[in-house]
Protein backbone atom coordinates (compact mmCIF):
# COMPACT_ATOMS: atom_id res chain seq x y z
CA UNK A 1 0.00 0.00 0.00
CA UNK A 2 1.28 3.44 -0.93
CA UNK A 3 0.77 6.54 1.19
CA UNK A 4 -1.43 8.10 -1.50
CA UNK A 5 -3.74 5.10 -1.18
CA UNK A 6 -3.85 5.59 2.59
CA UNK A 7 -4.81 9.24 2.11
CA UNK A 8 -7.53 8.29 -0.35
CA UNK A 9 -8.93 5.71 2.08
CA UNK A 10 -8.67 7.65 5.36
CA UNK A 11 -8.23 11.31 4.43
CA UNK A 12 -11.81 12.27 5.36
CA UNK A 13 -11.84 10.24 8.59
CA UNK A 14 -10.90 11.71 11.97
CA UNK A 15 -9.74 8.27 13.16
CA UNK A 16 -9.30 4.89 11.54
CA UNK A 17 -8.54 1.30 12.46
CA UNK A 18 -6.02 -0.95 10.80
CA UNK A 19 -8.68 -3.32 9.54
CA UNK A 20 -9.97 -0.63 7.22
CA UNK A 21 -6.78 -0.95 5.19
CA UNK A 22 -7.21 -4.65 4.54
CA UNK A 23 -9.99 -4.35 1.97
CA UNK A 24 -9.46 -6.39 -1.16
CA UNK A 25 -6.50 -8.73 -1.34
CA UNK A 26 -3.98 -6.70 0.67
CA UNK A 27 -1.50 -8.68 2.74
CA UNK A 28 -2.01 -7.95 6.47
CA UNK A 29 1.70 -8.31 7.25
CA UNK A 30 2.58 -5.82 4.51
CA UNK A 31 -0.02 -3.32 5.75
CA UNK A 32 1.28 -3.59 9.34
CA UNK A 33 4.82 -3.00 8.10
CA UNK A 34 3.75 0.09 6.17
CA UNK A 35 1.86 1.46 9.17
CA UNK A 36 5.00 1.02 11.28
CA UNK A 37 7.03 2.95 8.71
CA UNK A 38 4.50 5.78 8.52
CA UNK A 39 4.42 5.98 12.31
CA UNK A 40 8.22 6.17 12.39
CA UNK A 41 8.25 9.01 9.87
CA UNK A 42 5.49 10.91 11.67
CA UNK A 43 2.88 10.56 8.94
CA UNK A 44 0.54 8.44 11.07
CA UNK A 45 -0.18 8.75 14.80
CA UNK A 46 -1.12 5.67 16.80
CA UNK A 47 -3.42 6.37 19.75
CA UNK A 48 -3.56 2.79 20.98
CA UNK A 49 -3.47 -0.71 19.51
CA UNK A 50 -5.22 -0.66 16.11
CA UNK A 51 -6.42 2.98 16.44
CA UNK A 52 -4.79 5.66 14.30
CA UNK A 53 -5.13 9.13 12.85
CA UNK A 54 -3.21 10.90 10.13
CA UNK A 55 -0.66 13.48 11.20
CA UNK A 56 -1.76 17.12 11.03
CA UNK A 57 -0.39 17.96 7.57
CA UNK A 58 -2.48 15.17 6.05
CA UNK A 59 -5.51 15.08 8.35
CA UNK A 60 -8.55 16.83 6.88
CA UNK A 61 -10.92 16.27 9.81
CA UNK A 62 -9.77 17.01 13.34
CA UNK A 63 -10.90 14.29 15.76
CA UNK A 64 -13.00 15.63 18.62
CA UNK A 65 -11.68 14.60 22.06
CA UNK A 66 -15.02 12.96 22.86
CA UNK A 67 -14.80 10.79 19.74
CA UNK A 68 -11.27 9.79 20.70
CA UNK A 69 -12.51 8.85 24.17
CA UNK A 70 -15.28 6.67 22.73
CA UNK A 71 -12.84 4.90 20.41
CA UNK A 72 -10.01 4.47 22.91
CA UNK A 73 -12.03 2.21 25.17
CA UNK A 74 -15.41 0.56 24.84
CA UNK A 75 -17.96 0.25 26.06
CA UNK A 76 -17.75 3.78 27.42
CA UNK A 77 -19.46 7.14 27.24
CA UNK A 78 -18.24 10.67 28.04
CA UNK A 79 -19.47 11.75 31.47
CA UNK A 80 -18.47 13.37 34.75
CA UNK A 81 -16.75 16.77 34.49
CA UNK A 82 -16.32 16.66 30.70
CA UNK A 83 -20.04 16.19 30.05
CA UNK A 84 -21.05 18.73 32.70
CA UNK A 85 -18.69 21.30 31.18
CA UNK A 86 -20.01 20.56 27.68
CA UNK A 87 -23.57 21.20 28.85
CA UNK A 88 -22.48 24.42 30.57
CA UNK A 89 -23.22 23.20 34.09
CA UNK A 90 -19.75 23.74 35.57
CA UNK A 91 -17.83 26.92 34.94
CA UNK A 92 -14.23 25.86 34.37
CA UNK A 93 -12.67 24.13 31.40
CA UNK A 94 -11.77 20.49 32.00
CA UNK A 95 -8.18 19.62 30.99
CA UNK A 96 -8.83 15.85 30.99
CA UNK A 97 -11.54 14.08 28.98
CA UNK A 98 -13.52 11.98 31.45
CA UNK A 99 -15.64 8.92 30.71
CA UNK A 100 -17.21 5.99 32.47
CA UNK A 101 -16.84 2.39 31.37
CA UNK A 102 -17.84 -1.08 32.42
CA UNK A 103 -14.19 -1.99 31.95
CA UNK A 104 -11.42 -1.30 34.40
CA UNK A 105 -10.47 2.18 35.57
CA UNK A 106 -7.59 3.41 33.42
CA UNK A 107 -6.04 6.41 31.68
CA UNK A 108 -4.47 7.11 28.29
CA UNK A 109 -1.96 9.86 27.56
CA UNK A 110 -2.04 10.75 23.86
CA UNK A 111 -0.88 13.59 21.60
CA UNK A 112 -4.48 14.84 21.93
CA UNK A 113 -4.41 14.98 25.73
CA UNK A 114 -5.23 12.75 28.66
CA UNK A 115 -8.28 10.50 28.76
CA UNK A 116 -9.54 9.07 32.05
CA UNK A 117 -12.02 6.20 32.35
CA UNK A 118 -13.78 5.34 35.61
CA UNK A 119 -15.42 1.98 36.22
CA UNK A 120 -19.12 1.52 36.90
CA UNK A 121 -20.96 -1.77 37.12
CA UNK A 122 -22.95 -2.89 34.08
CA UNK A 123 -26.28 -2.15 35.76
CA UNK A 124 -25.23 1.52 36.09
CA UNK A 125 -24.31 1.84 32.42
CA UNK A 126 -27.33 3.85 31.25
CA UNK A 127 -28.51 7.43 30.89
CA UNK A 128 -26.42 8.30 27.82
CA UNK A 129 -27.25 9.17 24.24
CA UNK A 130 -25.54 9.71 20.90
CA UNK A 131 -25.12 13.37 19.96
CA UNK A 132 -23.26 15.33 17.26
CA UNK A 133 -20.33 17.39 18.53
CA UNK A 134 -18.28 18.66 15.57
CA UNK A 135 -17.55 18.01 11.90
CA UNK A 136 -20.18 15.31 11.62
CA UNK A 137 -18.77 13.35 14.54
CA UNK A 138 -21.32 11.61 16.76
CA UNK A 139 -20.37 10.53 20.27
CA UNK A 140 -21.86 8.68 23.20
CA UNK A 141 -22.27 11.04 26.14
CA UNK A 142 -24.18 11.00 29.41
CA UNK A 143 -27.28 13.10 29.69
CA UNK A 144 -26.62 15.97 32.07
CA UNK A 145 -28.42 14.46 35.10
CA UNK A 146 -26.60 11.14 34.65
CA UNK A 147 -23.22 12.88 34.29
CA UNK A 148 -23.84 14.57 37.64
CA UNK A 149 -24.92 11.35 39.33
CA UNK A 150 -21.93 9.49 37.89
CA UNK A 151 -19.70 12.13 39.48
CA UNK A 152 -21.55 11.92 42.80
CA UNK A 153 -21.27 8.13 42.84
CA UNK A 154 -17.56 8.07 42.02
CA UNK A 155 -16.61 10.81 44.50
CA UNK A 156 -16.07 10.17 48.19
CA UNK A 157 -18.86 11.96 50.09
CA UNK A 158 -20.24 13.06 46.73
CA UNK A 159 -23.74 13.18 48.19
CA UNK A 160 -22.81 15.90 50.68
CA UNK A 161 -24.04 19.45 50.25
CA UNK A 162 -20.50 20.72 50.72
CA UNK A 163 -19.26 18.71 47.73
CA UNK A 164 -22.19 19.71 45.53
CA UNK A 165 -21.55 23.37 46.31
CA UNK A 166 -17.88 23.04 45.33
CA UNK A 167 -19.02 22.23 41.79
CA UNK A 168 -20.41 25.80 41.49
CA UNK A 169 -23.00 24.48 39.09
CA UNK A 170 -24.50 26.90 36.60
CA UNK A 171 -27.99 26.76 35.11
CA UNK A 172 -28.77 24.01 37.59
CA UNK A 173 -32.50 24.61 37.27
CA UNK A 174 -32.29 23.31 33.68
CA UNK A 175 -31.61 19.79 34.95
CA UNK A 176 -34.56 17.42 34.74
CA UNK A 177 -35.86 16.54 38.20
CA UNK A 178 -37.72 13.58 36.73
CA UNK A 179 -34.53 12.17 35.19
CA UNK A 180 -32.58 12.70 38.41
CA UNK A 181 -35.20 10.78 40.39
CA UNK A 182 -35.53 8.08 37.73
CA UNK A 183 -31.78 7.50 37.48
CA UNK A 184 -31.30 7.43 41.25
CA UNK A 185 -34.12 4.90 41.64
CA UNK A 186 -32.83 2.77 38.78
CA UNK A 187 -29.32 2.77 40.26
CA UNK A 188 -30.74 1.74 43.63
CA UNK A 189 -28.08 3.37 45.77
CA UNK A 190 -28.94 5.34 48.91
CA UNK A 191 -26.02 7.67 48.23
CA UNK A 192 -27.60 8.81 44.98
CA UNK A 193 -31.07 9.18 46.47
CA UNK A 194 -29.60 11.40 49.20
CA UNK A 195 -27.71 13.42 46.58
CA UNK A 196 -30.83 13.94 44.49
CA UNK A 197 -32.67 15.35 47.51
CA UNK A 198 -29.84 17.88 47.93
CA UNK A 199 -29.68 18.68 44.22
CA UNK A 200 -33.43 19.26 43.91
CA UNK A 201 -33.34 21.52 46.97
CA UNK A 202 -30.58 23.53 45.27
CA UNK A 203 -32.59 23.69 42.05
CA UNK A 204 -35.67 24.92 43.89
CA UNK A 205 -33.61 27.52 45.75
CA UNK A 206 -32.23 28.76 42.43
CA UNK A 207 -35.71 28.92 40.92
CA UNK A 208 -37.10 30.69 43.98
CA UNK A 209 -34.56 33.40 44.70
CA UNK A 210 -31.73 33.04 42.18
CA UNK A 211 -29.18 31.69 44.62
CA UNK A 212 -28.26 28.89 47.00
CA UNK A 213 -28.60 29.23 50.73
Task: Locate the domains of the chain by residue range.
Answer: 3-54, 65-209
CA distance 77 to 67: 10
- Separation CA 83–CA 196 (nearest Å): 18
CATH fold for domain 3-54: Arc Repressor Mutant, subunit A (1.10.10)
Residue 212 is predicted with a pLDDT of 47
pLDDT in tens, 138-185: 999 999 999 999 999 999 999 999 999 999 999 999 999 999 999 999
| CB-CB contact of 94 with 46 (8 Å) | no
> In sequence order, which ranges of the chain are alpha helices (DSSP H)?
3-10, 28-40, 65-72, 80-86, 144-154, 161-166, 177-187, 190-209
Rounded to 5°, angle at Cα 189 from 183 and 192: 60
CA distance 118 to 97: 11
CA atoms within a 13 Å half-sphere pointing along the CA-CB vector of 125: 15
Q: For all residues of the chain together, what is the average pLDDT?
A: 94
Q: In 3D, which of 142, 6, 8 has the Cα closest to residue 75?
A: 142
Give the model's pLDDT for residue 211: 52
Distance CA 35, CA 41 (A): 10
> What's residue 213's pLDDT?
43
User: Are 64 and 132 within 8 A, CB to CB?
Assistant: no
- CA dist., res. 13 & res. 153, Å (int): 36
Cα–Cα distance, 72 to 133 (Å, whole number):
17
pLDDT in single tens digits along all 213 residues of the chain: 899 999 999 999 999 999 898 877 788 898 889 999 999 999 999 999 999 999 999 999 999 999 999 999 999 999 999 999 999 999 877 789 999 999 999 999 999 999 999 999 999 999 999 999 998 999 999 999 999 999 999 999 999 999 999 999 999 999 999 999 999 999 999 999 999 999 999 999 888 775 544
Q: Among residues 63, 72, 57, which one has the least CA distance to residue 108? A: 72
Amino acid sequence: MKFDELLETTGQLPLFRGGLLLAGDRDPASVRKQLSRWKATGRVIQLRRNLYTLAAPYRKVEPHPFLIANELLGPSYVSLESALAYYGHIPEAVPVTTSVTTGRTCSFDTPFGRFDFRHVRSSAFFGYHRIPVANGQDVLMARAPKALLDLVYLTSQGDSLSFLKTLRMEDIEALSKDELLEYADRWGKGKLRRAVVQIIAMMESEERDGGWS
